[in-house]
Amino acid sequence: AQSVAQPEDQVNVAEGNPLTVKCTYSVSGNPYLFWYVQYPNRGLQFLLKYITGDNLVKGSYGFEAEFNKSQTSFHLKKPSALVSDSALYFCAVRDGGGKLIFGQGTELSVKP
């Protein structure tokens, strides 16, 4: 069965510093991987996806993610964090039937 894991419940970063939110996956076959962000009392917003091709995927709001097949990871990164990046981040994998399976989420807190 397809699954993703987000090993950190919370990540704390100072504004201006680089940030990484971790995700590992377990799939059979080629993975279709996604990152979403959720602001308080809002729906999930799509950030980026990996289907095939370059291992470094660029997405919205300056975020990027690095696909690493040997480590089965798909970490979300941003070179310089903003206070407004503080939110709940979800990694997801699409299964063979099409539905998204989400990790437990990581709360990102960026302090000034």
Partner 1 sequence: DSGVTQTPKHLITATGQRVTLRCSPRSGDLSVYWYQQSLDQGLQFLIQYYNGEERAKGNILERFSAQQFPDLHSELNLSSLELGDSALYFCASSTIDKGEAFFGQGTRLTVV
Cα–Cα distance, 28 to 105 (Å, whole number)? 22
In this structure, is the dihedral angle defined by the CA atoms of residues 23, 54, 95 and 47, taken in order, positive or negative?
positive
CB atoms within 10 A of CB 100: 15
51 binds partner 1 (CB under 8 A): yes
50 binds partner 1 (CB under 8 A): no
32 binds partner 1 (CB under 8 A): yes
- Both tokens of 9, joined, read 């419940």
Category of 98 on φ-ψ map: left (φ > 0), alpha (ψ -120 to 50) or beta: left
Residue 15 or 102: which CB sits closer to partner 1? Answer: 102
> Mask of contacts with partner 1, 64-103, x by CB under 8 A?
--------------------------x---x--xxxxxxx
Residue 32 or 81: which CB sits closer to partner 1? Answer: 32
Cα–Cα distance, 109 to 14 (Å, whole number)? 8
49 binds partner 1 (CB under 8 A): yes
Q: Which residues sit at the interface with partner 1, rule CB under 8 A? A: 32, 34, 36, 41-46, 49, 51, 90, 94, 97-105
